[in-house]
Amino acid sequence: MKDDEIDEVLQRASGIPHEVEPALLKRVANSIHPSLRPVRPLPPTRVLTAGLILICAAVALVGAARTGFYGIEKLSLWERVLIFSTLSILAWMAGKELVAEFIPGSRHRFSPHALLTFASVALLGVFALLFRNYRSDHFISAGIACLLSGLLVAIPAAFLSWLLLRRGFAVNPVSAGLVGGALAGISGLTMLELQCVNFQALHVLVWHTAVVPVSAAAGALVGWALRRRS
């Protein structure tokens, strides 16, 4: 069979008008009539994305302010520029994608998994480029403390992001949870880069970077649980 023949069958099928009982359509119209009131459409994507980035930045700053901005003070100018510009770009990408997840029929530039993979690889690349001290003192204890601090900051970031987008409708709660978790994780990681003074390469590569995928996994789990409840 050639493409033309396949197209012909498909076109023939699309040509037939599909009949639906008028009574059914009338029933549908009548069911929505009592609650038909004017509604305010959601703000544009760029406004919501900017709101999400502001939330994440504010939460990271407040989180770091509690213990002090010792990390950023010890970083060189080049390190600051590279780390925080990477985090900003990733936050913008995740924010835009999260808004798309909450608006049905939106354009998606990446799949949630591709976004998470890209973010993790980009962060690993930047950290591997900047930190060359491969000693690992208190690898597990210091690492778990940083991972937990990052995740603790991610929780309010995720909650406030949800508040901003609560009028939206996630057609796929698991994907929305994953992207939301990744964005919140970026907020947690930003806090760590502001306050953590442990610049050992393995510590940063493993425990700091892990905040993003772990937070994304937690978000996806929440989305899955919500979908099961609905």
Partner 1 sequence: MARYQAGDFAAATALIECVGPQLHRFFLAQFVSRADADDLLQETWLRIHRVRHTYRPGEPVLPWFYAIARRVRVDHYRKASRTTAREHSLAEMSQVAAREDGQAADDLETLLAPLSESQREVIRMMKVAGMSLEEVARATSCSVGAVKQRVHRAYESLRARASAPGPKKGPGGGQS
Question: Which residues lie near partner 1 (CB under 8 A)?
Answer: 1-3, 5-21, 24-25, 27-29, 31-33, 35-42, 44, 100-111, 167-169, 171-172, 175, 227, 230
From the list 35, 22, 180, the residue with the least C-alpha distance to 102 is 180
From the list 213, 196, 188, 23, the residue with the least C-alpha distance to 124 is 213
Lookup: tokens for 80: 């600051």
| Residues comprising the chain, all counted | 230
Measured from the CB atom, is 5 or 137 closer to partner 1?
A: 5
Measured from the CB atom, is 19 or 137 closer to partner 1?
A: 19
Measured from the CB atom, is 13 or 77 closer to partner 1?
A: 13
CB of 50 to partner 1, least distance (A): 16
CB of 168 to partner 1, least distance (A): 6
CB of 204 to partner 1, least distance (A): 32
Q: Is 34 exposed, middle or buried (0-12, 13-18, 19+ CB in 10 A)?
A: exposed
Measured from the CB atom, is 68 or 104 closer to partner 1?
A: 104
CB of 115 to partner 1, least distance (A): 11
Q: How far apart are CA 168 and CA 1, in angstroms?
A: 45
Measured from the CB atom, is 118 or 139 closer to partner 1?
A: 118
Cβ count within 10 A of residue 225: 12
Measured from the CB atom, is 42 or 205 closer to partner 1?
A: 42
CB of 8 to partner 1, least distance (A): 8
N- to C-terminal Cα distance for the chain?
Answer: 44
Question: Angle CA(50)–CA(173)–CA(90) in degrees, nearest 5?
Answer: 35
CB of 216 to partner 1, least distance (A): 17
Measured from the CB atom, is 31 or 141 closer to partner 1?
A: 31
Q: How far apart are CA 183 and CA 189, in angstroms?
A: 10
CA dihedral 127, 130, 136, 142 (to 10 degrees): -50
138: left (phi over 0), alpha (psi -120 to 50) or beta: left
CB of 43 to partner 1, least distance (A): 9
